[in-house]
Structure 1
């Protein structure tokens, strides 16, 4: 397996080439964050591999048949037993390295920082949205890390991390109404809800709360968790992405809420960092 160091904030490593594929290179260690084929929320890192441009980083896996599958072509879930897992650096041109070569891996840190800010802001926004929607639940349900009804887990359909931002889509159909959610009330109160979310986000950014990644190991399939020590308590969520180290680094975080139809809620999160 590839040993990964991005969870600790690393952006450069000297590595040894393990496998050379027609379009990608697999190394024994990498600071590059790959897009997850099962939940592709954060894009893969870009950068260079000994001067060659890396335009994407993806998960790689091979089973007993010995064929490497990359990214969305992987036919099994991440960590499936009997499969070998790695990180593949997808190059702009055919690889010019060979197995056993030492290579220098360098991440585009400007892009990484923007994605990290977007990902941390995305988690904060989801927690703030859960809190703002608590009054719209009439039945008991599972709680989020801060003790509010977990709207995020119950309704989120897609999440995409952008440079200094994120886009989340929530499905508010029959199943959510059966759980006791006043869907119509949420749609009617969107401006007030957005104000409450943005006020909470402003407080959390001002608190300059520490953020860290806790990893069970250093392989790409090991569980990693995002942890943020907010004034209300420590929030912990499973997460394989990259993040800033404190909420104060975000500068300002704001969201907009829109309901393009009665059963869909879209939240867009934006970060305005001090450069």
Structure 2
């Protein structure tokens, strides 16, 4: 299969509908994968699979999954998801959005329609996830004995230093942080954290209320329209403008969240901190 360049994507700007030309097809297990020149669909990222794929329809057929594909220059085979041997954006590869259906999609120009309600709920969960991470950094700032890189608001960046997994949900998220020896060597004090969780949660939720009430602008900055573009999430919070690398979808203002509540829990052995974020 000859693919001329990476897929053009419209989801960073909030696009949920598009007409585009089919440029290729590839088997995805026992299902059918369709590649178009331009798409509004957000695929699951094989490198950091935090936000689930968009669902919807293509040419009237149900899109049951949407995954990242890649094809090396000069090679015909399209690799899918975990079979891709390089990180997204690696040179010498075209990066593709693959729309998965039960039946084959006809050739020619097709209409792509994203499930807008599901997209909105995932966007809310992703925006809330970033805000909760910033609030968590601020609430844990006093537990650092050494200097580490700061987040956009000047707090020690616990989130980026300790995170092991993040999962965006419809209207929320779950983030897991490792509290191991490596983090302690970097200067984090984990002793007494269990007893401090109620106060830490109160601080986080107070900040979230303040930021939502501020009706802060949220936007995605992208250097280009290709799937490979390294996009950045921005939020103009009262404490300053924050920028976080992010390939997901988002709301446009913090007030759209309505309300956000965070809970924290420690794993049974105390080695992990889990943050649950719920919108509304």
TM-score normalised by the chain length of structure 2: 0.94
Q: What stretches of structure 1 of length at least 5 have no aligned partner?
A: none
Tell me, yes or no, if the aligned pair for 1:216 and 1:224 is still in contact at 8 Å: yes
After superposition, residues 18-33 of structure 1 pair within 5 angstroms as: 18-22=23-27, 23-33=32-42
After superposition, residues 105-144 of structure 1 pair within 5 angstroms as: 105-144=112-151
Q: CA deviation at 1:80?
A: 1.2
The aligned residue for residue 109 of structure 2 is 102
Q: Does 1:48 align with 2:53?
A: no
Q: Distance in 1 between matches of 2:176 and 2:8?
A: 33
TM-score normalised by the chain length of structure 1: 0.96
Q: Distance in 2 between matches of 1:121 and 1:73?
A: 31
Alignment length, in residue pairs? 269
The aligned residue for residue 266 of structure 1 is 274
Q: What stretches of structure 2 of length at least 5 have no aligned partner?
A: 1-5
- Deviations, residues 58-87 of structure 1 (Å, cap 9, x unaligned): 111012332011122212111111111111
Tell me, yes or no, if the aligned pair for 1:184 and 1:262 is still in contact at 8 Å: no
* DSSP-derived class of the 1:21 partner: strand
The aligned residue for residue 246 of structure 2 is 239
- Deviations, residues 29-84 of structure 1 (Å, cap 9, x unaligned): 00000111000000010000010000111111012332011122212111111111
After superposition, residues 165-204 of structure 1 pair within 5 angstroms as: 165-204=172-211
Tell me, yes or no, if the aligned pair for 2:58 and 2:105 is still in contact at 8 Å: no
Q: CA deviation at 1:185?
A: 2.8
- Correspondence for 2:237 among 213, 221, 230: 230
Q: CA deviation at 1:19?
A: 0.1
- Deviations, residues 135-157 of structure 1 (Å, cap 9, x unaligned): 01111111011110000111000
Tell me, yes or no, if the aligned pair for 2:59 and 2:105 is still in contact at 8 Å: no
- Deviations, residues 79-131 of structure 1 (Å, cap 9, x unaligned): 1111111111011x121312xx0000000000000000000000000000000
Q: CA deviation at 1:176?
A: 0.8
Q: CA deviation at 1:20?
A: 1.6
Q: Distance in 1 between matches of 2:156 and 2:44?
A: 29
Q: Distance in 2 between matches of 1:39 and 1:265?
A: 19
